Structure 1
Amino acid sequence: MKPKVLLTNDDGVTSAGIWAAYEALSPIADVTVVAPATQQSAVGRSISIFEPIRTYEITMNGVPAYSVGGKPTDAVIIGLYSLNLAPDLVVSGVNIGENLSYESIMTSGTVGAALEASNQGVPSVAFSLQVEDQGDKFDDPSRVTDRFEETKRIVRDVCERVLRDGFPEHADVINVNIPSKVSGGYEVTRLAEKLFHTGVEKRLDPRGRPYYWIDGPLFEDAEEGTDVHAVRMGNISITPITLDCTALRAADRLADIFR
């Protein structure tokens, strides 16, 4: 029997990225798509607890799928506990835009869905594709989808390896970032600290009242061994992520302070 895969994302059920992942995985797995109805980027592990979650069975590209009126975490929970899918693996992505560094994975809905799956006891892999124009994250332009053939090969290869060899001990999520132009191979990495130089742009509306956009350019590079550096060098970054956020190295000092 084929392994079962629950496929989700944060770009929405109509995103070209999730259907590229479906095409990559359907020959090797029994894939069920359960994804947000609309764009949900940067919602992290946000969860809907103050409003009902409506779910509709739809058909996309001739394939039945579930459109969830909520967050990526909601989609995972619906798939696990309402649809009772019992997957062997949860795959989140392919996200349009890289998810690199502490900064990005803490807000990423793509990684958030994978973390939720792992928290519920299902191993998970998150896939993201680097874009050169940050506006592409919301547009799915042809210059991004043209690169999906190579991306599909990587998604299938990574998942085949994980399903064959088992999930690595001490990791809860495998975060995979694919450069816009792959010129190297796989590189196991650690998270960089930052991805963006955070800034705020102030503007005035037609009535002269201020409003703000959070913005800022990307970091050009980071130290060797990090996910940011690997992708900048054209390598496919493979980062093991853990749910345990305990800062163990601070425990002794904290014990001294509160002795």
Structure 2
Amino acid sequence: MRPKILLTNDDGVTSEGLWAAYEALTTFADVTVVAPSTQQSAVGRSISIFEPIRANKVQINGKEAYSVGGKPTDSVIIGLFALKINPDLVVSGVNIGENLSFESVMTSGTIGAALEAANHGVPAVAFSLQVEDQGDKFDDPKYITLDFEESKKAIIDICRKLLKNGFPESSDVINVNIPKTFLGKYEVTHLAEKLFETGVEKRLDPRGRPYFWINGPLYENAPKGTDVNSISKGNISITPITLDSTSYKGLNEIKEIFEI
């Protein structure tokens, strides 16, 4: 029997990256698309709890999908508990732009959707494609002109291996980042501390009142073995992530501080 996959993202249901993943996954699996109606980048794992969520069946590229008026996590919850898809795997992506380092894991809607699935006991993989121009992240993902061919190959290879062999013990999500120019190597990595050098630009509106843009260049000095370093070398970065954020190394120190 073909495995069942729930496919979602944070760029929205019309994104070229989502449908590139769909094209790859349907070569070996039955795929149901449940994705946000609109762009939801950088919402992390936030959930809509103060408003109702609408999920409408739509046709995109001649294929059926569910367009969810909410966050990526909402899409996963609707897929699992309202549509009762019962997938063997949840795939999130392909995201337009890399999701690397501590920063992205905490803020990415792509990874947030995968973490939500994992928290409900469903293994999940997040796929992201590096962009050369950071401005591409802010363009309409429906009309993006990136080349997804290497992404499709990686999706097929990685997902089939995970479905065949199972997830590694103590790993809840596999975070995969694909370089804009792939040099043919997979690299198992850990998260870098930073992706961007954080900066803030102050500007004045027409009335002379200040406002701010958070910005900053890409971080270029990540240590070897990190996801940021791997991508900079043209390798596909594969990073296992866990839901448990407990600092086990800090437990004894905390016990000493509070004399427990």
Tell me which interval the TM-score lies in, with the shorter structure as reference length.
over 0.9
Partner of 2:218: 218
- What is the deviation of 1:140? 5.5
Partner of 2:7: 7
Counterparts of residues 64-213 of structure 1 (less than 5 Å): 64-139=64-139, 145-213=145-213
Q: State whether residues 105 and 111 of structure 1, in contact with CA within 8 Å, keep that contact through their aligned partners in structure 2.
A: yes
Partners of 1:233 and 1:140 lie apart in 2 by 28
Partners of 1:109 and 1:187 lie apart in 2 by 23
- What is the deviation of 1:143? 10
Amino acid at match of 2:84: N
Partner of 1:251: 251
* SS of alignment partner, residue 225 of structure 1: coil
1:63-90, Cα deviation, whole Å (9 max, x unpaired): 0000000000000000000000000000
* SS of alignment partner, residue 131 of structure 1: coil
Partners of 1:78 and 1:142 lie apart in 2 by 23
- What is the deviation of 1:202? 1.1
1:43-100, Cα deviation, whole Å (9 max, x unpaired): 0000000011111100000000000000000000000000000000000000000000
1:45 aligns to 2:45 (yes or no): yes
Partners of 1:90 and 1:149 lie apart in 2 by 21
Q: State whether residues 7 and 91 of structure 1, in contact with CA within 8 Å, keep that contact through their aligned partners in structure 2.
A: yes
* SS of alignment partner, residue 152 of structure 1: helix
Change in CA separation of 1:18 and 1:109 when aligned onto 2, cut-off 3 Å: same
* SS of alignment partner, residue 12 of structure 2: coil
Partner of 1:18: 18
Q: State whether residues 34 and 68 of structure 2, in contact with CA within 8 Å, keep that contact through their aligned partners in structure 1.
A: yes
The more displaced of 177-186 and 234-243 is: 177-186
Change in CA separation of 1:84 and 1:156 when aligned onto 2, cut-off 3 Å: same
With the length of structure 1 as denominator, give the TM-score of the two structures.
0.97
1:75-127, Cα deviation, whole Å (9 max, x unpaired): 00000000000000000000000000011110000000000000011000000
- What is the deviation of 1:141? 7.5
Q: State whether residues 127 and 178 of structure 2, in contact with CA within 8 Å, keep that contact through their aligned partners in structure 1.
A: yes
* SS of alignment partner, residue 98 of structure 2: coil
Amino acid at match of 1:208: G
Q: State whether residues 14 and 141 of structure 2, in contact with CA within 8 Å, keep that contact through their aligned partners in structure 1.
A: no
Partner of 1:59: 59
The runs of at least 4 consecutive aligned structure 1 residues that moved more than 2 Å come to 140-146
With the length of structure 2 as denominator, give the TM-score of the two structures.
0.97
Change in CA separation of 1:177 and 1:136 when aligned onto 2, cut-off 3 Å: same
- What is the deviation of 1:164? 1.0
Q: State whether residues 36 and 69 of structure 1, in contact with CA within 8 Å, keep that contact through their aligned partners in structure 2.
A: yes
- What is the deviation of 1:221? 3.1
* SS of alignment partner, residue 164 of structure 1: helix
- What is the deviation of 1:40? 0.3
Change in CA separation of 1:136 and 1:16 when aligned onto 2, cut-off 3 Å: same
Q: Percent identity?
A: 71
Change in CA separation of 1:88 and 1:141 when aligned onto 2, cut-off 3 Å: closer
RMSD: 1.4
Amino acid at match of 1:79: G
